[in-house]
Structure 1
Amino acid sequence: MSEDDGKRAGGLRRLLTDQSIDTRPLSLPAFRRLFIGQGTSFIGSMLTQVAVPVQVFDLSHSSLDVGMVGLAGLVPLIVFGLYGGAVADAVDRRTLYLWSSLGTWAVTLALLAQTLLGVGHIGLILALVAAQSAGFAIASSARGAIIPRLVEPGLIPAANTLNYVVGTIGEVLGPLVAGVLVTLPHGFAYAYGADAVLFTAALYSTLRLPSIPPDGVITRIGLRSVGDGLKFIAGRPVLVMSFLVDLCAMVMAMPRSLFPAVALERFHGSVGLLYAAIPIGSVVAGFGSAWIGRVRRQGAVLAGAVIAWGAAVAVSGVAPQLWLVVVFLAVAGAADLISAVLRQTLLQTYAPDAMRGRLQGVYTVVVAGGPRLGDLRAGAMAVAFSASMSWTLGGVACVVAVAIGAPLARSFWRYDAAKATGGDVLREQPGENTAATGSVQEPTAP
């Protein structure tokens, strides 16, 4: 090989290294355990998330009833997301995460039991969805507040990307497996049972986490504490706009509740690929995501990613063939990864540790509640018009709303992450500024 060839090869390797996913947080044992447990449990949880709406549609043959699955989980998500975030700022976050995860696991067992017993009652399924949503809201608030205590500030974008990628891998595998299982005799029971087994990995990883007590700032659990968190957000337009942009994306353009009807009407029941398409795009984008950690204009890039999401969803709604629908939904998934990582990173670096639990509670309400409202919106529009029309118009509405609204919020549009966090926080190397965030340190262990 000539010297020039060697230089070109070395340059290509450096380019690939610079752009590929940043895995440095995995060198931290506590984060690695959380990562592995979350990844395994996500596969199981997606089995349930697919099985529940398909089972409801199988019982009722109504997209509106499928949309009610999202509504059933919304109220407990709001209440327990906000209150759980306040609790996460006042107690050991590892303990809170463990007990809330146990509650979620118990609900999965109850879903399995109602299927095995052949109850076939939509009201019972919706009640179990509501209980599961409450447990998820508390666990998610605690988990999001834990991450900045396990990694250094400069690694927060990389940690969020890794978590999002492993979650979306679960969202790919789960729907593909669920799409096969729900077509089998007793398939819903297989899906719920597999979820219950896989979720034990999350419970084990949580048990192995170090204690993560409050950082010394006394926070009383109650409505005043919740109110303090909401006032913190309300006084910071950058945070408000980041939440509003995500709500536009999920409420207006989430087509998830339409998948069973569209699959039956247009694609001979191939629902698994539809549920898997968005996560596939997120996974692919995640493996080339190192650049996200170097983004300074986080608000503008976040808004651009949401606009791309809405446009891709709109086009997928009118695509004539299944493979084209999957491709455009995958593009939407890639845009969703970018927006999710930037939104979570902005939130975690913007708030002091004593406020992170409450802000993660609001984040959980918005990020998980938005799609549920989107399910209801899409199902209701499908009744009034058609499933395909509901799908496409939602994407168009998202594009218009964000393209007009985001630039008008000047502090959000011009937000510079490097200046806001002290200049070089996004470029720090492992080990720097650990004391500033109260990171949990522990000896290296398997």
Structure 2
Amino acid sequence: MLRRLLSRATVDTTPLRASRDYRLLLGGELITGLGTQAALVALPYQLYVETRSAFLTGLLGAVELIPLMAMALLGGALADRHDRRKLLLLDQIGLVLGASALAALAYAGSPPIGLLYVLGAWMAGFTAIQNVTAGSIIPNLVEPELLRPALALNYGLNTLTMVIGPAFGGLLIAAFGLGAAYTIDAISCLAIFGAVWAMRAQLPKGVDLEADQPARVLESIGEGLRFVRGESALMGSFAIDLLAMTFGMPRALFPVLSVSVYHTGAGGTGLLYASVAAGATVAALSTGWLSHARRLGRIVIWAVVAWGAAIALAGVAHSLWLAAAMLAIAGAADSVSAVCRSSINQTVTPDHLRGRMSAVFSLVVTSGPRLGDVESGSVAALASPRFSVISGGLACVVGVAGIVFAFPKLLAFDAEQDQADRTLGSVHGEDLVHG
């Protein structure tokens, strides 16, 4: 009995054994993610140390938002018309250049604040293309029955980098300075470059790239947006995550809380960043039970409620370690939500639209926290950091009711029924063609 329970709880590693290219992609993302997360701590910490302003630190999220949105949409259109492997390789060049520039400025000392914002926007844009492209590749690396465990394992290992990376970044900054964190980020991009180089070509299915005339970029983006708008469960999954991240992700305040409230400096900042990801990693690597779940929409809804409540409790905490524990619980809830949302998104989307769907998914996943940076930083400047964290968590809990009302198909989503309906629709379509 115990063995059966453990097998249902732990994540299924079959996709790793079944697919060489899946192993390569995950290995490259794991190493590169460590460098990315180290730099993620470095830039807001550098801004706060230079300005001592919670608002200016949170403003980084707003500056990153426009290039993130534009490059994600562009990347999604390109990923549905070109070899996704080549696109991922080219994107690494932009990331290396941006991280190298940040390192050079850090070593030079006292960089212009405006230039830090520009480079933050640059990195956000190229990271968006990477996320969109990698997300659209994964479903084609494994068999359909292994998709959900493959997504869970991918999410779990990515969140593992968010545990080790921020803690490593905080210690690295404390010991060797900001330049070291940015340098590690630039070097780590070589890992995913090498891994993707060894993979087979990753052409989108359902598209004849030689016979078809490539759609114009704006037309292609429009087609993808119309598809997303027409799938109510998909829209609901995007909306509820945007709610959770905008009001319930106070990451811009982690340096503020660490320096001004807990007086723990860069090490404490790294711990707060890592806590959310630590909880997410443990939850993601114990999501074997989700492979058998049908009511994924309901699980998403309750997970977001748990996320908001835990964030609010973190704001009440009067010690760094208690706040970190609450953030870990929040991260675990977000992990369950993320795996379920990814499964819904990939299940309802045909492969020739996965790049553009992944672009919208990336916009939500990455722009939500940046909107949260602005929201939490602004509220903290008007009131206090604690009030900002508590009010944001409570707003998230209350807002879930509005999402359920606006997108009832999210609540009603049944994975098995949806798959059966789509299979039946496909059979009917073939009958019409042959008839």
TM-score (norm 2): 0.92
Q: Quote how far apart the aligned CAs of 1:407 are.
A: 5.0
> Is the CA contact 2:95–2:189 (under 8 Å) kept in the aligned structure 1?
no
Instruction: Quote the Cα distance in structure 1 between the aligned partners of 2:204 and 2:157.
Output: 28
Residue aligning to 2:360: 362
Is structure 2 residue 410 aligned with structure 1 residue 391?
no
2:195 is the counterpart of 1:211: no
Matched, 1:21 2:16: no
Structure 2 matches for 1:163-174, cutoff 5 A?
163-174=154-165
* Preserved contact between residue 315 and residue 390 of structure 2 (Cα < 8 Å): yes
8 Å contact 2:236–2:403 — kept in the other structure? no
Shift in Å at residue 278 of structure 1? 0.3
Match of 2:433 in 1: none
Range that drifts further, 399-408 or 346-355: 399-408
Q: Does the 8 A contact of 1:34 with 1:206 survive in 2? A: yes
Structure 1 equivalent of residue 146 of structure 2: 155
Tell me the equivalent position of 1:31: 22
**Partner residue in 1 for 2:273:** 275
Q: 1:58 aligns with which of 42, 49, 52?
A: 49
> Aligned AA for 1:17?
S
Could you list the per-position Cα deviations for residues 216-259 of structure 1 after superposition, in whole angstroms to 9, with x for gaps in the alignment? Answer: 42452411110111111111111111111001000011010011
1:267 partner letter? Y
**CA–CA distance in structure 1, aligned partners of residues 80 and 357 of structure 2:** 10
Cα distance between partner residues in 1 of 2:205 and 2:247: 38
Distance of 2:205 and 2:8 partners within structure 1: 34
Q: Distance in 1 between matches of 2:96 and 2:334?
A: 27
Bigger mean CA offset, 407-416 vs 235-244: 407-416
Does 2:218 align with 1:223? yes
Partner of 2:377: 379
**Following the alignment from structure 1 to structure 2, what is the Cα–Cα distance between the partners of residues 407 and 72?**
32
Across the aligned residues of Structure 1 and Structure 2, the Cα RMSD in angstroms comes to 1.5
Once residues 322 and 145 of structure 2 are traced to their aligned partners in structure 1, the CA distance between those partners, rounded to angstroms, is 38
**Please, which runs of 5 or more residues in structure 2 have no aligned partner?**
424-435
Mark the runs of 5 or more structure 1 residues left unpaired by the alignment: 1-10, 426-446
1:423 & 1:14 partners in 2: Cα distance?
A: 31
- Corresponding residue of 2:136: 145
**1:365-444 equivalence runs, <5 A:** 365-406=363-404, 409-422=407-420
Q: Match for 2:295: what amino acid?
A: R
- What is the CA–CA distance in structure 1 between the aligned matches of 2:422 and 2:5, rounded to whole Å? 22
Range that drifts further, 252-261 or 211-220: 211-220
Give the whole-Å Cα distance in 1 for the aligned partners of 2:389 and 2:190. 36
Q: Report the Cα offset of residue 182 of structure 1.
A: 2.1
Q: 1:233 aligns with which of 225, 228, 234?
A: 228
Asked if 1:117 corresponds to 2:142, the answer is: no
| More helix, by proportion | 2
How far off is 1:119 after superposition? Answer: 4.5
Q: Secondary structure at 2:174's aligned position in 1?
A: coil
TM normalised by structure 1 equals: 0.90
- Of all paired residues, the percent bearing the same amino acid is 39
Alpha-carbon distance, 1:75 to partner: 0.2
Q: Aligned residue for 1:3?
A: none
Deviations 1:272-313 (A, max 9, x none): 211111011011112311012222111111111111101100
